[in-house]
Amino acid sequence: MIDWTDAVNGQAHRWGILTRLKSDWSEGSGCVLRLRKINVFVTSLSGERLWDVERELPGQIQIAVNINMLGIEEQTDGTLQAPFVFTVNFTPAIAQISIKGRAKIQGERAEMQKMLEEHKQQKTPPVQIVQAVSSTAIAEAILISKTIGIPPPLPPLPSPPAAQAPPKTESRYTT
């Protein structure tokens, strides 16, 4: 969900919220649901069209999307923050898009500590954070791409399967 917010520190920005329900099953205890809230704050948007507007775009374009999670840091209020940089590059070089921001993770203190320790051991961010960041950033990248007149950074839709004609059988008569 992308919403406009009031000005923060004198700057207007957009944000997205993804809330996750985590289900843990343990023997004899049934299902325990814990609420985890992930806010994604976009702090910088950049989109540049490198291809002349008067020039027709090439027929074949490769789009590379990269999400760089810069770490997970514990805040004094018990929440976690994960700064990120989301980039979209095109080949041939028709444009580039860059989105920077941070994800703020809220939840039970024990769960936040566990997530922080797992991150320190594995050095990979939790999937939920990457999903929240990518959902928000891809929505912003689509809006930027529309504004500067380039194809959106979406995977191509699969083409419908070609209808196969039944094999032709030739009838030959011999005498």
Tell me whether residue 90 is in a domain: yes
Tell me the per-residue pLDDT of 23-49, one tens digit each, with 9 for 90 and over.
443 344 444 445 579 999 999 999 999
Torsion, Cα of 108, 44, 58, 66 (10° steps): -40
* Counted domains in the chain: 1
pTM above 0.75, yes or no: no
109 by DSSP, 3-state: which? helix
10: containing domain: 2-148
Say which residue, 4 or 14, is predicted with more confidence: 14
Q: Is residue 157 part of a domain?
A: no
In sequence order, what are the residues at sequence separation of 6 or more whose Cβ sits closer than 8 angstroms to the Cβ of residue 138? 65, 86, 153, 154
Confirm whether 160 is domain-assigned: no
The predicted-structure confidence for 135-158, as pLDDT tens digits, reads as follows 999 999 999 999 999 999 987 677
In a domain, 25, yes or no: yes
